[in-house]
Structure 1
Amino acid sequence: MDSVKLNWLVDLLLGITFFICFVTGLLKYTVLLQLTGLSNIILPAALISDLHDWSGILLGLFVFVHLLLNRRWIISTTKKILAGSRKEP
């Protein structure tokens, strides 16, 4: 797999896991469930909590892979920014 497709796949997986983690995080708030009329029977809290935990772990893994794949750009850009800031009085 070429690097463009790999970056695209990792970014897609980052987006999906972020969405799952964000939504399940919102659903863990009981006040929000009460306001929406949803109950523990419709959305079991244990399942929501497990989905939230696992998506958070996957999100962390995909962030690490994303940073690893883009390390050259990160290093290069950081060097340019730091070099540029030294020129200013």
Structure 2
Amino acid sequence: MNRMKLNYSVDVILTLLFLIVAVTGFVMLFVMPSGVPRGRYQEYMGITKATWTLLHNRSAIMMTVFAAIHLVLHKRWIICTTKNIFKKQENECSND
């Protein structure tokens, strides 16, 4: 797999994981009642609160892993951009 396809794949997966984390977070925060009247057995859309929490937590962990991969793939760009911002000379790094 070439670098462009790898970057694209990582970014798509990262976006999907972000959407899962955001949706499950909003559902748990705004839709499901807080407190423990029924505890982890509360349901929304046929899914228990425990399952919503598990999906949210696992997706957040995977999102962190893919964010780290994303940063590693863009390490050279991050270093070059940081150097260009803090030095007076422009265009020290090539545009790869």
* Normalised TM-score (structure 1): 0.82
Q: 1:40 aligns with which of 23, 39, 43?
A: 43
Q: Report what 1:11 is aligned to.
A: 11
Give me the whole-angstrom Cα distance separating, in 2, the residues matched to 1:14 and 1:83: 32
C-alpha root-mean-square deviation of aligned residues, in Å? 1.5
Question: Is the partner of 2:6 in helix, strand or coil?
Answer: helix
Q: Report what 1:27 is aligned to.
A: 27
Post-superposition shift, 1:44? 1.0
Q: Which amino acid aligns with 2:64?
A: G
Q: Report what 1:87 is aligned to.
A: none
1:80 aligns with 2:87: no
Report Cα offsets for 1:25-55 as digits up to 9, x if no partner: 11112x4336xxxx61533101100000000
Q: Report what 1:58 is aligned to.
A: 62
Q: Report what 2:94 is aligned to.
A: none
1:67 aligns with 2:71: yes
Structure 2 unmatched ranges of 5 or more: 34-41, 89-96
* Normalised TM-score (structure 2): 0.76
Number of residue-to-residue matches in the alignment? 79
Q: Structure 1 or 2: larger helix share?
A: 1
Percent identity between the two aligned chains: 37
Q: Which amino acid aligns with 2:2?
A: D
